[in-house]
Structure 1
Amino acid sequence: MAEKKVSLPAKLINGGVAGLVGVTCVFPIDLAKTRLQNQQGVQVYKGMLDCLAKTIRSEGYFGCYRGAAVNLTLVTPEKAIKLAANDIFRQKLSRDGHLPLWGEVLAGCGAGTCQVVVTTPMEMLKIQLQDAGRLAAQRPVPTPAQAAAPGPAPSLVAPPPARPSQPPRPSATGITVELLKTRGLAGLYRGAGATLMRDVPFSMIYFPLFANLNALGVEKVGNVQTRAPFWQSFVAGCTAGSVAAVAVTPLDVIKTRLQTLQKGEGEDTYRGIIDCTRRILRREGPAAFLKGATCRALVIAPLFGIAQVVYFLGVGEAVLGLLE
């Protein structure tokens, strides 16, 4: 039986829709992950729930979606490249419809490598926007004595207390323009090596594990192989995503620290991957490499569960009229 040819445009549409749906659902937890990973000295947040509660209290509900516009804009090409590249590599490496484990790992490696061209600038911008609230929370609030400034004699009606001035919120456009002006295109690709170190192992773990878990629900009737039910694709995506996410969390911590441009008072800056690893280990101990691991698992698990279900719905094929 001839193997069905992979349609690249359909795969790109599927990956894009999957990314949009998934990111919209889990972005607030991703914001908490970034803020927890960047904490070095001052512990503004005690954990994920505390971070989300304080964010909503100080920045409003939509404060949990800081940086979401960048993510939603660039996640379409990122997820499209990742999922489509994996499918294409798997097809190229298959022999007579069979793909050995080494081929699954190699296909995942190729998918993780391809996506970095979009992932690095996306996360570079997203991290600055997500972390702005944490940096603002670290700034000391003036005491009543400091706030009382000398002036004219008090009137009978006391004016309302002045609120401490807040610095202007950064925008993705402003950050991009500043980086291009001061550092060129390389500024947007700061931390590309750390991103590659995180995403390649992630894909090498995720895609083979997902394929094998998903295959447990596939039945063969004669020469026809059925597709796994949607619920199984969702569970397989969640399980494989959470395992891969926790496994590469130390690399994600390093990447987040390297890509954060603005540091709080007393927080380290790093010269590269090795310097970052040494400084974190010396100053914060091994446990620091697992900061945000729970958040990351809670982000990646449903993100890839939703992504795989949407992907297997065949939206791209329907749009392109390939389904008969």
Structure 2
Amino acid sequence: MQLQVGKPVAGAEHYNGMVDCFRKIIAKEGAGRLYRGLVPPLMLEAPKRAVKFAANDFWGKTFKTTFGVDKMTQGLSILTGCSAGATESIVVVPFELVKIRLQDKNSTYKGPMDVVGQIIKKEGLLGMYAGLEPTFWRHVMWNGGYFGCIFQVRSLMPKAQTKSAQLFNDFVSGAVGGFVGTAFNTPFDVVKSRVQNSIKVAGQAPKYSWTFPSLLLIAREEGFGALYSGFLPKVLRLAPGGGVLLLVVEFTLGVFRKQLGPPYL
């Protein structure tokens, strides 16, 4: 949905929402096409989440020391999240690039390694980092919204008296954070998808390159709503996913702290 350029044209295929997109893909290309580009996200998910939370912990400690405070504040939680997102974006770009190239409905690539091989052959190793700048903004916005909301929602929820109540609080905080982060970052995600799907042609400037000019271009040509293409499937994935992510991280850290003893509690 994010790769649809321009307004609907009579007689041309166009996806009119998530359900219509599912229906047309299955009808014309088969259910297996829904899993096109699965390998890059599978390879990326574990290191991506590890970097996200490790970077958030690192930047949180760094900023508290820098600003001379003992406890996290709302402002610092947002700044910390944005910094974690910036760090995470460096890891993500090559995997996202391969996924986008495979998921384009006009894609003729044979698989992930074919994408990698062709990009390196035509553009060199740095070609694997096409779309770094919009990916940077995408992750800065999502992580800032996510970790900022977690801090705020936790402070508003009743103090947990049991382990199950604490896990529930973590899930709700993460889910709200996932929703807000997705609302903030979807326009940047649309630009990132367009940039990464642009094949370089010698002597020809790509239509989409830098983030903010591309945001204005899409809004002018297709309307503001085009910047939120694919929002529904994104938020259905990332809102509950954000809750599960925080729940699992906090639960796992609790287990390790208990096993490692007092210094880590």
Where on the TM-score scale, by shorter chain, does this alignment land: which range?
A: 0.7 to 0.9
Q: CA 1:246–1:170 in structure 2 vs 1: closer, same or farther (change >3 Å)? A: farther
Q: Is the 8 A contact 1:190 1:258 kept in 2?
A: yes
Q: CA 1:247–1:271 in structure 2 vs 1: closer, same or farther (change >3 Å)? A: closer
* Aligned residue-pair number: 249
Residue 89 of structure 1 deviates from its aligned partner by 2.2
Q: Is the 8 A contact 1:210 1:240 kept in 2?
A: yes
**Which is further off, 281-290 or 232-241?**
281-290
Greater relative contact order (Cα 8 A, min sep 6): structure 1 or 2? 1
Q: CA 1:65–1:320 in structure 2 vs 1: closer, same or farther (change >3 Å)? A: farther
Residue 91 of structure 1 deviates from its aligned partner by 3.3
Match of 1:242 in 2: 179
RMSD: 2.9
Residue 108 of structure 1 deviates from its aligned partner by 0.8
| Alignment of 1:45 onto 2:10 | no
Q: CA 1:320–1:176 in structure 2 vs 1: closer, same or farther (change >3 Å)? A: farther
| Aligned partner of 2:244 among 291, 297, 306 | 306
Q: Which has the larger radius of gyration?
A: 1
| Alignment of 1:296 onto 2:234 | yes
Deviations 1:89-117 (A, max 9, x none): 22344467511222212211220111011
| Alignment of 1:90 onto 2:60 | yes
Match of 2:190 in 1: 253
- Match for 2:43: what amino acid? T
TM-score (norm 1): 0.68
Uncovered stretches (5+) of structure 1, i.e. residues with no partner: 1-35, 137-167
Q: Is the 8 A contact 2:59 2:80 kept in 1?
A: yes
| Alignment of 1:183 onto 2:130 | no
Q: Percent identity?
A: 31
| Aligned partner of 1:76 among 43, 46, 59 | 46
- Match for 2:106: what amino acid? L
Q: CA 1:313–1:274 in structure 2 vs 1: closer, same or farther (change >3 Å)? A: closer
For 1:289 and 1:192, locate their aligned partners in 2 and report how far apart those are by CA, in whole Å: 19
For 1:281 and 1:93, locate their aligned partners in 2 and report how far apart those are by CA, in whole Å: 36
Uncovered stretches (5+) of structure 2, i.e. residues with no partner: 7-11, 201-205
Q: Is the 8 A contact 1:246 1:296 kept in 2?
A: no
For 1:169 and 1:58, locate their aligned partners in 2 and report how far apart those are by CA, in whole Å: 18
Q: CA 1:315–1:130 in structure 2 vs 1: closer, same or farther (change >3 Å)? A: farther
- Match for 1:297: what amino acid? V
For 1:272 and 1:80, locate their aligned partners in 2 and report how far apart those are by CA, in whole Å: 28
